[in-house]
Amino acid sequence: MLKYIGKRVLLMIPVVLGISFILFTIMEFSPGDPARIILGDYATQEQVDELREEMGLNDAFLVRYGRYVLNAAQGDFGKSYRSNSPVVGEIAARFPVTLKISLMAIMIAVLIGIPVGIISAVKQYSFADILSTMAALLFTSIPAFWLGLLLIMFLSVQHHILPSVGSDTWKHLIMPSLSLAAAQMATIIRMTRSTMLEVIRQDYIRTAKAKGASSRRVVFHHAIKNALLPVITTVGLSVSNLLGGALIIENVFGISGLGTVMVNSVKSKDTPLLLGSVMFAAVVAGFVNLGVDVLYTYVDPRIKAQFVKKTKRQGAGT
């Protein structure tokens, strides 16, 4: 298992390098001069040229990218062009807010999506099944930012129940989390329903029922464990989607998180801050997916047995 985890961590390196190169290239050929943006429109061309030389912007493209990669490998991701503060400090200050919203959203999606999906599968074609299917289709079709605006109008503007801007208290995070959770909850409902329907039609489920096992025992003891693997995969992918979706939602609700940092970095052509933020999000998503794969071994003993057998064969071969 440790060898597998090590391989997966090493595989993240070329992925992160590829992402950094693509972003560096896009920022290089996009319109705008970082030195001009920093100094403003009233700065003279001599001042702009002097700042470009000081920042190393006059060097060749590959030279600057290579220098950035070498510095990043040593833990130095540069300083923000806009604030002149270290990129690591900017990310450390903003990411906790994005993490709170994403975790709250995934908790809402899981705590509602999995039970509703199970009930929908067990009571197939019932009123509850039809209602949950319609709700899943509805939430899948609604964009997160539009749902966020509706929540602001209803819960904040009209009824003054929740604050609409900021992230000072847990109340500020409810509407952003609900906006992000809706689409992911719909996906989890549909995935749980489809996998549960497939599992409860298996022969061993019929055998358990024939032996007199109660419906509750059949569902919770036999069916859920075998139906959870695709759902866990969906939840893991949802975490990555939520980190990306926070980029839009944070701007809708005026939250100063990692998504807002990315948007502002693009506007100001702040390449170091954008690269650092995106690569950090990519690494987090990679570790989440790795955690999902490790979780498989605890949910399904067959997968753990495959790891053990593979390790024994490799040990015998050496």
Domains of the chain, residue spans:
2-73, 89-317
For 21-80, how does the pLDDT look when each residue is reduced to its tens digit (9 = 90+)?
998 888 888 877 788 877 877 788 888 888 888 888 888 888 889 988 898 888 888 888
Sign of CA dihedral 302, 303, 306, 308: negative
**pLDDT score, position 21:** 92
Residue with token string 């994403």? 102
**pLDDT score, position 296:** 72
**pLDDT score, position 116:** 92
**pLDDT score, position 160:** 86
**pLDDT score, position 131:** 92
**pLDDT score, position 226:** 77
CB 273 within 8 A of CB 82: yes
Give the angle subtended at the CA of 161 by the CAs of 159 and 166, to the nearest 5°: 120
Phi, psi of 278 (to 5 degrees): -70, -40
The pTM (predicted TM-score) of the whole model is 0.78
Mean pLDDT of the chain: 83
The torsion defined by the Cα of 135, 138, 141 and 142, in degrees rounded to 10, comes to: -100
Which residues of the chain have a pLDDT value below 70? 1, 4, 299-318
CATH number of 89-317: 1.10.3720.10
